[in-house]
Amino acid sequence: MNLTLKVWRQKNAQAAGAFVDYAMSDVSPDMSFLEMLDGLNETLQAKGQEPVAFDHDCREGICGTCSLVINGIPHGPDRATTTCQLHMRKFKAGDVITIEPWRAAPFAVIRDLVVDRGAFERIQRRGGFVSVGTGHAPDANAMAIPKRQADLAMDAAQCIGCGACVAACKNASAMLFVGAKVSQYAHLPQGQPERFRRVLAMVEQHDAEGFGACTNYQECEAVCPKEISVRVIGEMNRDYLRAVLVGVE
């Protein structure tokens, strides 16, 4: 099928960007979206033109780097799917497809469709870990954890830190990401010693990075490729309120 791509091109965060139109022909419906972009770049390079910069790594829906807004939707029109798992059969011949980077002040454009998501890494460093001694693997396995709590922790731990929640939110809030990273430990005994210090530190870093507040539009949940529930935001808010009101040792 033949398509028209409107791709955002921008040299760096300081330069002005603009959409550039590219015609694509003979696109197979079995191609992934990133394979289609590979084809575009091969064509551009054959013409001696600069290829389009875009992020990718595992191409298996695990790493979260394929951050593209496709026709106004982070990761495109297929629910619970990363861009690398989106196939061209979701489009039809003659379609005009608009492709742009995440749009959020904390995610500065590095080049074209690549943004700097270092803010997520800094939030993680503030509390997205367990530093207390938990023993060896056999010791951890010997610790009885109710199945519901284990399931809730694993649901939250599915977050791949892609940033789609931020791109979809009108406030550019990263509360779904922070909530997931807080909640995955809050449901486990290993996460209890640092539970309230963790939530205070991570929310503080979230705000310092310039992300907005959550106003419960739930667009974040709608575009999350791992279908993380906004429930984790409520859990994070409850822990944060308790930490502020009661204090943290």
Domain co-membership, 7 together with 94: yes
- Its pTM stands at 0.94
pLDDT at residue number 132: 74
The encoded tokens of residue 235 equal 């859990």
Number of domains forming the structure of the chain:
2
82 and 165 co-located in one domain: no
Q: Do 122 and 229 have their domain in common?
A: yes
Average pLDDT score over residue span 170-196: 96
Residue that is last in its domain, among 111, 142, 163: 111
**Buried/exposed code over 189-204 (b: 16+ C-beta within 10 A; e: otherwise):** ebbeebbbebbbbbbe
Clarify whether residues 70 and 13 are in a common domain: yes
Residue 38 tokens read as 């590979």
* pLDDT for the residue numbered 247: 80
Domain boundary among 111, 133, 153: 111
Checking DSSP bridges between strand 96-100 and strand 3-9, what pairing results, if any? parallel
Together in a domain, 195 and 159: yes
Which range of residues forms the domain containing residue 23?
3-111
Q: Are residues 170 and 100 in the same domain?
A: no
User: Does one domain contain both 69 and 124?
Assistant: no
For residue 161, give the CATH number of its domain: 1.10.1060.10
Q: What is the pLDDT of residue 133?
A: 74
pLDDT of 144: 84
Count the Cβ atoms, other than its own, within 10 Å of residue 90.
14
Residues near 31 by beta carbon (within 8 Å), at least 6 away in sequence = 39, 87, 88
Residues 131 and 36 in one domain: no
Write out pLDDT tens, residues 197-238: 999 999 999 999 999 999 999 999 999 999 999 999 999 999
* 166 has pLDDT over 80: yes
- The pLDDT, as a whole number, for residue 82 is 97
Q: Does residue 249 surpass a pLDDT of 70?
A: no
What secondary structure does DSSP assign to 20-80, as a single string? EEEEE-S--TTSBHHHHHHHHHHHHHHTTPPPPP---S-SSSSS-----EETTEET-SSTT
Choosing from 65, 84, 111, the residue where a domain stops is 111
Q: Do 177 and 63 sit in the same domain of this protein?
A: no
Query: Could you give phi then psi for residue 125, rounded to 5 degrees?
Result: -65, -25
Co-location of 240 and 124 in the same domain: yes
What single-letter DSSP state applies at residue 112? T
Residue 44: CATH number of its domain: 3.10.20.30
